[in-house]
Chain A
Amino acid sequence: MEWFIANASFIAGLTVTHLSISVGPIIVGAVLAILLARVIPRRLVNPTRTVLGAIYAIPSLALFVALPALIGTSYIGPTNVVIALTLYVITSMYFSARDAFGQVPLATLTTSRALGMNSRQLFVHVELPLAVPGLIAGLRVASASTISIATIGAVVGVRDLGYLFLDGFQRKIPEEIISGIVAVCVIALALDAGLWLVGRLMTPWRNAKVNRV
């Protein structure tokens, strides 16, 4: 605790870097996962599942340092980490996005069609809002693991909260490592709570049961 207080401003700086490399991938990855879940035709579902499952399995450090050979980025620095985190968000959210859209009742879709909605209106006003609970559930899982995986970026030179693990181990300060673990958990849980709240605010009809007769 003493170590944490004495180094609060240092940890705050690392936290800012940590958020700056993980929030982008969470948002971009989620949007791409939703797009993929919509555009991939039914007969390609199984191959996609295999490919995304395989990418999801790749250890993060191996992916960080394999990307430079594929796309010519520098070995050290945040670019590979950001790309790899985005890939992980896509792979973990694709499945929940597919399920979320799959659970929209067919009757609702046909009714909306019959009311004269075009495909775009159907997506924006019917499918997307009804898929929100499933999408948020998937996003909560993806965001917690992204915050946690981002720490490994410290190994390739990103000064985020993972730096506390490397530095604390080398200098033999357990408090430093534990501060890092607690900081990562707090950010992950705060983000989780925030997403839960967003999900509730976006689906007001789910909380309105009380007023019905």
Chain B
Amino acid sequence: MCNFGELGAWLCAEGTWTGRYGLWNLLAEHLLLTVVSLLVAALIAIPLGMFIGHTGRGTFFVIGLGSLSRAIPTMGLLFALVLLLGVQFRELSVVLALALIALPPLIAGAYSGVTTITPGIRDSATAQGMTTRQLVRHVELPLASPSLIGGFRIAFIQVVSTVVLAPLVGLGGLGFGIIQGLALRNFAQVTVSAVVIIVITITGEQLIGLGQRLAEARLVAPKRLEKP
């Protein structure tokens, strides 16, 4: 492995894998930032999106948010929040910025999941005597799940592409190798970091896509009826 010139030399060098800025540590930080901010965003976005979809109140909000969010540069949002909240709270600011970035697609996914349910299904659930709580829990949530996961996929893509910029505000994550490598003109480090980021992102995206297909398949063709 140590015979591939510059690239091999860097891969085998001390401090490439272990230590504060070793690849393992950066990978863990990268995944932690992504997962925590997605979870924070989901806790707000899924109830909100489902509420708007369920009641029909605030539809204009979802549509407006959707088109505005595409135009807002995520790098600017990240930098502005870190600077305005203070550099000493940068972990919090970065998670907040990433969660804000994840909100619009998650809300849109939850909203469209609920609104595209055939009205007859909801009516018959109500006619059977379901309370609003039961309707949301046992009818709307399962039927909205593919669209919800679709929203997660977009949110994941947006968040991961911004996590890569976290080293610019003093945090770690896999983008560190790109930023440091560019500054030091260590292009082996840049390339390896970029490849690791690409592999991690595509794996995550494909896994979420698989989850979405499974959720769809479960709704379309239930293989066996569950016992009551």
Binding site for B on A (CB under 8 A): 50, 53-54, 56-63, 65-66, 68-69, 75-76, 141, 144-145, 147-149, 151-152, 154-156, 161-162, 164-166, 168-169, 172, 174, 177-178, 180-181, 184-185, 188-189, 192
Contact = CB atoms under 8 A, between A and B. Distances in A.
A42 to B, nearest CB: 19
B194 A174 contact: no
Secondary structure dominating the interface of A: helix
Interface stretch (B47-55, B121-129, B158-166, B216-224): B158-166
User: Which 6 A-B pairs have CB atoms at the shortest separation, nearest pair first?
Assistant: A188-B71, A59-B161, A57-B205, A181-B76, A66-B194, A62-B197
B190 interface: yes
Interface in B163-189: 163-165, 168-169, 175, 178-179, 181-182, 187
A68 B80 contact: no
B201 A57 contact: yes
Q: Which of A50, A69, A151 has the most chain B CB atoms inside 10 A of its CB?
A: A69
A152 B165 contact: yes
Interface residues of B, number: 44
Nearest to A55: B202
Contacts, number: 135
B37 interface: no
Contact of A165 (B71, B73, B191): B73
Contacts of A66: 191, 194-195, 198
Given A59-B161, A66-B191, A156-B182, A148 B83 contact: no
A181 B72 contact: yes
Given A62-B197, A65-B181, A155-B179, 15 more contacts: A53-B209, A54-B205, A57-B160, A57-B205, A58-B202, A62-B193, A65-B190, A65-B193, A69-B187, A148-B72, A155-B75, A155-B182, A164-B76, A181-B77, A188-B71
